[in-house]
Amino acid sequence: MIPYGRHHIDEDDIEAVSEVLRSGVLTQGPAVEAFERAIAEYVGVKYAVAVSSGTAGLHLAALVAGITEGKKLITSPITFVASANSVLYAGGDPLFADIDPETINLSADKLNIALINDSEIRGIMPVHFSGLTCDMVAIAEAANKYDAIVIEDAAHALGAKYADGSKVGSCKNSLMTVFSFHPVKAIAAGEGGMVTTNDENIYRRLLRLRSHGINKLNDPYEFPQQSVENSIPSPWYYEMQELGFNYRITDIQCALALSQLKKIEKFISRRRDLVRRYNSAFSEFENCRPAQESECERSAHHLYVLRIDFNKIKLSRSELMLELRVRKIITQVHYIPLPAQPYYRKLGFNPEDYMCSQEYYSQALSIPLYYDLSDEQQGYVIQTLRELLV
């Protein structure tokens, strides 16, 4: 079977994980900090906090940014459910603005219209769809104008670059950026996430909330009189100062992710070559086109999404997916627009209010794209689509 996406593991990864297993420290050990430092250095940011998943990272980011009860945050309808769910976990209210049909990212124009019409929006969560960065300068301008904070959902975008060439995660135009290390992502930790920021107070709060709200680093005690016995500081003393979570990640996961990070440029470069070949092949097809054609050099190429005109071919999307599966090619759809999910419909959203997202959704199909996809396999995918898209 040729899946739509998968991770690549080599002997160095296995050795890195084995080292942790032999070391006697499975969690809260040196691999976590080493991975945090490596990501901070790679993306060019002051602070990085590793967490148990991208979803956990988004939840903490929303909480720390104050997107709590009565506060609204606006995001894209074309994303994984975790983006908007994290706002609900924090007690806030998610909203959506439609996508730009050429980039499949949150449209800056639609965002501005939403901000003009609703003065209660306090947060914006751009999602760098498939690793193609959003227009962060326009988004930051809108955020400044309407007094909103920006949290980047960069689950797809480790290794991607903004228009000015700087790396996603550097938080030049945002308060925080969140990555995911789920196996189909740029690098794999099994499960895992990272929040980056340049703000020390945000960093300290993320550290506390990741581990039950217990004081970290040199946080001052709120009840210092409890921390001493007979005037001697009690070595066991700690304070839970707010309600936090167990969103910690293990050293086993971080050792794997750190080993993977060393290969990220090679991973992205191979994906980019595969994308170029797909783009060139599909330019000759009549009934389909790449969903994101522009700015190919900057994207992290998490997915390869085709937009197929199903009105012009004999097969429906389900029939096409089944025919491809029979031929051992697995495809997927990213994503069902969030306002169409029953849970979000019950909150009052209507997918018809986001027509660019709906139109994109009716045509989208993610086809295989991953580091280990061979030239021969890719040729087979292209040839099979050539036969079926008629």
Ligand X SMILES: Cc1ncc(COP(=O)(O)O)c(C=O)c1O
The residues of the shown chain that bind ligand X, judged by CB under 6 A, are: 53-55, 79-80, 82-83, 127, 153, 155-156, 180, 182, 193
Query: Is 53 or 173 the residue whose CB approaches ligand X more closely?
Result: 53
Query: Is 105 or 241 the residue whose CB approaches ligand X more closely?
Result: 105
Query: Is 131 or 244 the residue whose CB approaches ligand X more closely?
Result: 131
Q: Which residue number has the CB closest to ligand X?
A: 54
Of 243, 244, 259, 152, the C-alpha closest to 195 is: 152
Nearest distance, CB of residue 83 and ligand X, angstroms: 5
Query: Is 190 or 214 the residue whose CB approaches ligand X more closely?
Result: 190
Report the alpha-carbon distance of residue 122 to residue 37 in Å, rounded: 30
Nearest distance, CB of residue 345 and ligand X, angstroms: 20
Query: Is 43 or 127 the residue whose CB approaches ligand X more closely?
Result: 127
User: Given the DSSP bridges, would you call strands 176-180 and 193-197 parallel, antiparallel or unpaired?
Assistant: antiparallel
Angular region, 387: left φ>0, alpha ψ -120 to 50, beta rest:
alpha
Report the alpha-carbon distance of residue 131 to residue 302 in Å, rounded: 6
Query: Is 84 or 389 the residue whose CB approaches ligand X more closely?
Result: 84
Query: Is 156 or 307 the residue whose CB approaches ligand X more closely?
Result: 156
Nearest distance, CB of residue 286 and ligand X, angstroms: 31
Q: What is the DSSP letter of 47?
A: E
Nearest distance, CB of residue 128 and ligand X, angstroms: 8
> Helix/strand/coil (H, E, C) string of 83-144?
HHHHHHHCCCEEEECCECCCCCCECHHHHHHHHHHCCCEEEEECECHHHCCCCHHHHHHHHH
Report the alpha-carbon distance of residue 158 to residue 170 in Å, rounded: 11
| SS3 category, 219 | coil
Nearest distance, CB of residue 181 and ligand X, angstroms: 7
Nearest distance, CB of residue 84 and ligand X, angstroms: 10
Residues 97 and 76 sit within 8 Å (Cβ to Cβ): yes
What's the Cα-to-Cα distance from 374 to each of 83, 116, 270, 273, 381, rounded to whole Å? Answer: 32, 49, 10, 11, 11
In the chain, the amino acid numbered 315 is L
Nearest distance, CB of residue 309 and ligand X, angstroms: 26
